[in-house]
Amino acid sequence: MPRIPGTSLALSPWKIIVSVLGGALIAFGVAALVLPGPGLLLILMGLVVLASEFEWAEHRVDWMRVQALGAAEAGVQTVTRIALSTLSALVVIAVGVVWGLNPPIPKIWIIGPDLPFGGWGTGAAIIVGGIIALVLLVYSVKRFRVDGDSAPTPDESGRERSTR
């Protein structure tokens, strides 16, 4: 197996594939943070792929899991938060439909008369983001309100890792 010069690291074909796939998912995720799409979800997916071969990525996944579950638990603590989250996700889906239809808009500075990146490609990505938000909301309500579970703390996450 070829070695990286100056290190004891072996370059297996599997490790190269995992590195390229995980890196690509993270790069697309970073791009989707500013473009329509599920950016944070893609970044997490990239880290999960990298965590199959790299311990540093596994630590990041554990930290992100604790943060995400804590935010999910806080987001469904009250009926008002659940209603606002549902409304927000439905608004995102509606925006995706409008973006897909690509109606003419007033010209404002350099934007117009067409929507930037208008069309069903962008509209579908926005709609998928709204659907993902609704699915995660239903999951959070079931887990934290119906089942009465609680989000792990950073200490609990560290203990889980040390028992593996």
**Each residue's pLDDT tens digit, 74-107:** 889 999 999 999 999 999 999 999 999 988 888 8
Q: Is the pLDDT of residue 122 over 60?
A: yes
* Token pair listed for 116: 């930037």
Indicate the number of domains in the chain. 1
Does 157 map to a domain? Answer: yes
Does 22 map to a domain? Answer: no
Does 5 map to a domain? Answer: no
Of 16-20, 49-53, 61-65, 156-160, which range is least confident? 156-160
Q: Is the pLDDT of residue 4 over 80?
A: no
Boundaries of domain holding 153: 54-162
Q: What is the pLDDT of residue 161?
A: 47
DSSP reduced 3-state for 148: coil
Does 13 map to a domain? Answer: no
How many other β-carbons are positioned within 10 Å of the β-carbon of residue 115? 18
Q: Which long-range contacts (CB under 8 A, 24 or more apart) does 31-36 make?
A: 32/125, 35/117, 36/96, 36/99, 36/117, 36/122, 36/125, 36/126, 36/129
Q: Is the pLDDT of residue 13 over 60?
A: yes
Strand partners, 111: 108
Q: What is the pLDDT of residue 162?
A: 46
Q: Is the pLDDT of residue 10 over 70?
A: no
Percent of the chain with pLDDT strictly greater than 90: 34
Q: Is the pLDDT of residue 164 over 80?
A: no
Give the chain's mean pLDDT: 83
Q: Is the pLDDT of residue 21 over 90?
A: yes
Does 36 map to a domain? Answer: no
Q: For residue 156, what pLDDT band results from cuts at 50, 70 and 90? A: low
